């Protein structure tokens, strides 16, 4: 049936193996390029920002280090639910530092959606030069 001579050397074709290795290499290079643990988002300044003198609001500040502040004191994330439940009729006003971690902002917004029914505002600072 098969007639192999003694002069024929068996050989292995490495082309599919090399192709597979290159495909895996490209896949791993592309996935490591796009994976970033934190999104770098710079929130723009508003040219139409207005100062609010309304005391019927709850003001929560998110500082650059990700810490939360309410009424001049620092609060922890586990205290946030109690703070938001104190005055359910008050409008939540978030002051977020431009360099605050996005994760801290998202955690407060998630709690505000639940406790305030999604009714909150994000305060901005006036644009420079206005």
- CATH, residue 98: 3.30.420
For residue 53 the two structure tokens come to 């003198």
- Tell me if 23 is assigned to some domain: no
Q: Quote the pLDDT of residue 16.
A: 93
Contacts of 72 (CB under 8 A, 6+ apart): none
In a domain, 44, yes or no: no
Q: Report if residue 74 sits inside a domain.
A: yes
**97 located within any domain:** yes
Asked if residue 27 is part of any domain, the answer here is no
pLDDT tens-digit profile of 83-100?
888 887 888 888 888 888
- Structural domain includes residue 36: no
Q: Which helix (H) or strand (E) holds 33?
A: helix 15-34
Residue 57 has φ and ψ, to the nearest 5°, of -120, 155
User: pTM above the 0.95 mark?
Assistant: no
Q: Please report whether residue 1 resides in a domain.
A: no
pLDDT tens sequence across 57-80: 888 888 889 899 998 889 998 888
Domain of 67, in residue numbers: 57-123
**Average of pLDDT values for 2-25?**
82
* pLDDT tens figures, 26-42: 998 888 766 555 556 66
Q: Report yes or no on 89 lying in a domain.
A: yes
pLDDT at 112: 85
Return the residue matching tokens 């801290």: 104
Number of domains present in the structure of the chain = 1
| Average pLDDT in the chain | 79
């Amino acid at each position: 049936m098969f007639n192999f001579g003694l002069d024929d050397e068996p050989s292995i074709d490495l082309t599919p193996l090399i192709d597979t290795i290159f495909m895996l290499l490209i896949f791993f290079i592309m996935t490591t390029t796009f994976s970033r643990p934190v999104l770098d988002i710079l929130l723009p300044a508003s040219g139409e920002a207005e100062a609010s003198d309304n005391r019927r609001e709850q003001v929560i500040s998110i500082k650059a280090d990700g810490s939360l502040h309410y009424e001049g004191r620092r609060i922890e994330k586990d205290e946030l639910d109690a703070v938001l439940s104190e005055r359910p009729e008050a409008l939540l006003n978030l002051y977020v530092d431009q360099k605050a971690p996005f994760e801290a902002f998202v955690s407060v917004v998630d709690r505000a959606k639940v406790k305030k029914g999604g009714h909150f505002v994000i305060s901005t600072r006036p644009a420079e030069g206005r």
